[in-house]
């Protein structure tokens, strides 16, 4: 995923920040343990949010413990102990990273895509291991990525159609968070709208570069002010998707981490959207 689902730290309580960082750090550790260093590079805020949702909906949570970070061994940090939920998110991250690298290789020239070309064989090895655990997950991701590639090949100009594969992909993974049958429909809608928001955010964020490079982007318009026009064109769709995410969230039985999740949905996403539409966004990985 793309790193847009972030907390708004000025409004996050200290204890909540420690819990958020504890989930982030634990997910990083599980990625390394299951797949190695390359998989850890795939860690993003989006996957941390998915992990928090799984933990928030689970019947029980194993809690936190102090542990040393391999990259900062001098200081212990809180680390979530719930390996079952974190391992599921780590597996999802590996599958999506592999397909993201493939997409980068397909869309980039030799030199621009060189990094992705070098990493792809390692990612393919991790994906093969993950696919053995979750063949249905692998098939679902592959299908969505094939649909996305087809839309890009035909240079689809419909915002709704272009966002559909990513929306369906997130719908699939958030439905897997359900612990009860009645949650599935709500989580399906939540994931769909969140996936749609993520895709459109990425399109708005990449718009200047895509116009310059001649790359596909459904927001491109044949006007002198194409960047401003394209970002304004998508504003209402972003607002509607974000509002539906919030409405679906209110129907869920959240057992823990409600303050963190609301911070992301009500403040973090709005801040990121504002930055992207103003052209001020910069991707950050650390917490």
pLDDT for 53-71, tens place per residue?
A: 999 999 888 889 888 887 7
Q: Report how many domains make up the chain.
A: 1
| pLDDT higher than threshold 70 for residue 79 | yes
- 270 inside domain: yes
pLDDT score of 285 more than 50? no
Tell me if 128 is assigned to some domain: yes
31: CB partners within 8 A, 6+ apart? 39, 40, 42, 43, 90, 93, 94
Compute φ and ψ for 86, nearest 5 degrees: -70, -35
Range of the domain at 233: 9-277
Q: Is the pLDDT of residue 286 over 70?
A: no
Question: pTM for the complete prediction?
Answer: 0.91
pLDDT for residue 231 is more than 70? yes
Q: What is the pLDDT of residues 16-61, one digit of tens each?
A: 999 999 999 999 999 999 998 878 888 889 999 999 999 999 988 8
Q: Is residue 3 part of a domain?
A: no
Q: Is residue 83 part of a domain?
A: yes
CATH of the domain at 82: 1.10.600.10
In a domain, 282, yes or no: no
pLDDT single digits (tens) 120-130 = 898 899 999 99
**Cα–Cα distance, 32 to 265 (Å, whole number):** 28
Segment 134-189, tens digit of pLDDT: 999 999 999 999 999 999 999 999 999 999 999 999 999 999 999 888 899 999 99
């Amino acid at each position: 995923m793309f790193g847009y689902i972030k907390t708004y730290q000025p409004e996050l309580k200290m204890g909540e920040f420690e819990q958020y960082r504890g989930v982030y750090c634990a997910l990083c550790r599980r990625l390394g343990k299951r797949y190695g260093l390359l998989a850890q590079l795939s860690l993003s805020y989006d996957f941390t949010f998915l992990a928090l949702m799984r933990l928030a909906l689970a019947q029980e949570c194993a809690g936190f413990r102090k542990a040393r970070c391999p990259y900062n061994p001098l200081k212990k940090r809180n680390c979530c102990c719930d390996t079952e939920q974190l391992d599921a998110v780590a597996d999802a991250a590996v599958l999506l990273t592999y397909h993201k690298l493939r997409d980068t290789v397909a869309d980039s020239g030799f030199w621009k895509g060189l990094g992705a070309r070098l990493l792809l064989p390692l990612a393919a090895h991790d994906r093969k291991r993950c696919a053995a655990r979750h063949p249905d997950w692998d098939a679902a991701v592959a299908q969505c990525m094939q649909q996305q590639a087809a839309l890009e090949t035909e240079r689809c100009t419909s915002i709704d159609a272009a966002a559909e594969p990513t929306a369906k992909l997130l719908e699939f993974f958030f439905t897997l968070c359900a612990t009860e049958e009645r949650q599935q429909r709500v989580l399906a809608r939540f994931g769909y709208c969140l996936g749609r928001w993520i895709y459109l955010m990425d399109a708005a964020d990449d718009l200047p570069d895509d116009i310059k490079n001649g790359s596909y982007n459904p927001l491109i318009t044949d006007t002198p002010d194409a960047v401003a026009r394209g970002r304004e064109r998508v504003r209402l769709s972003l607002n509607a998707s974000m509002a539906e995410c919030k409405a679906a969230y209110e129907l869920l039985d959240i057992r823990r981490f409600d303050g963190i999740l609301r911070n992301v949905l009500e403040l973090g996403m709005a801040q990121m959207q504002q930055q992207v539409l103003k052209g001020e966004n910069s991707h950050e990985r650390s917490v």
